[in-house]
Chain A
Amino acid sequence: MTAPRFGPGDRVRVKRWDPPGHVRTPFYVRGHVGEVVTVVGPMPDPEQMAYGRTDAPPVVVYRVRFRRRELWPEDADPHEDTVVVDLGETWLEPAGTGEEARAA
């Protein structure tokens, strides 16, 4: 079975992809860093199922927590509120590698 690449507490960055078609990763988290809260486990990949590809391999889904102030630093509200988004592993990469320069 698909072994999860990340575990709880890992910092992950959402890829800045913009693929066409049925996509379940909201724009507001793309390119941002969050923390894995829970490994939900392998689930049918909605980005494949939408096209009837029922034999596509499952995708490991994670619950990833983002800080609202990291997502929208321009907002004045100082509260440390958070958003948890369910994301497929294909969209995630370890934070601190690759796109480090973009965050600077």
Chain B
Amino acid sequence: MRGHDHRPKQPDLEDLPYTWHMALTDALADLLMAKGIFGADELRATLETIDQATPAQGTRLVARAWVDPAFRARLLEDVNAAAAELGIDAGAIPIRAVADTPEVHNVVVCTLCSCYPRFLLGPPPDWYKQRAYRSRVVREPRAVLAEFGLVLPDEIRIEVHDSTAELRYMVLPMRPEGTAHMDEEALAALVTRDCLIGTALPRAPQRA
């Protein structure tokens, strides 16, 4: 006899305990659909819209701000309105951009849960939702950033933004040195998701 018939199946997510909150969520969605508040297709489409947002939308805003000072001012005033200028729907929740300077480096967190500008940048990375990042980055930001490979000079102040209200945050990093020759599209490619959270900095491409 071979043992393969008796090997336990690897559990799927659905095999985890069905909790009270999961039941509540399913019941609420079923009720709202039964009452005709929204349909299954609308629910699906909303989830799809959220999932299809990507950090690329944020990187376009940063690159435009780097080449256009007037746009930069409007972005710092109101991210949602500035995004609309580029044809990007950043959603209904107000988003603020926090600008890095030679003196201050900004980092975003949500210590209470996982607030993130999802409609602009898509779903947050898993580490952003984990307790280790959420609890540590406010208390020991330098140690956390160093673990991400980002070591900042002592004279730069790190300012952590805790998204505790109905506002969301994105970092507007500084344009790297050595990028004067680059156009907007090339500049956008230097900005990554983590640059928009503040756990990385955009880097000029290495000259061959």
Contact = CB atoms under 8 A, between A and B. Distances in A.
Interface in A1-48: 24-26, 28, 40, 43-44, 46
A81 B162 contact: no
Contact of A79 (B111, B142, B167): B142
A85 interface: yes
A75 B90 CA distance: 39
A88 B139 contact: no
Given A43-B165, A46-B165, A72-B139, A79 B154 contact: yes
A5 to B, nearest CB: 16
B140 A26 contact: no
Q: At the interface, is chain A mostly helix, strand, loop or mixed?
A: mixed
B32 to A, nearest CB: 14
Chain A: number of interface residues, binned into ranges: 20 to 34
Contact of B142 (A61, A77, A87): A77
A86 interface: yes
B112 interface: yes
Contacts of A28: 111, 138-139
Most buried by A among B141, B159, B165: B165
Interface in B97-154: 111-112, 138-142, 154
Interface in B155-192: 157-167
A56 B164 CA distance: 19
A43 B166 contact: yes
Contacts of A80: 157
A81 B166 contact: no
A64 to B, nearest CB: 10
A82 B166 contact: no
A82 to B, nearest CB: 5
Nearest to B98: A84
B165 A86 contact: yes
Contacts of A86: 162-165, 167
9 contacts: A26-B162, A40-B165, A44-B166, A61-B166, A75-B140, A79-B154, A81-B157, A82-B158, A83-B161
| A-B CB proximity, top 5 nearest | A86-B165, A81-B158, A85-B162, A83-B160, A86-B164
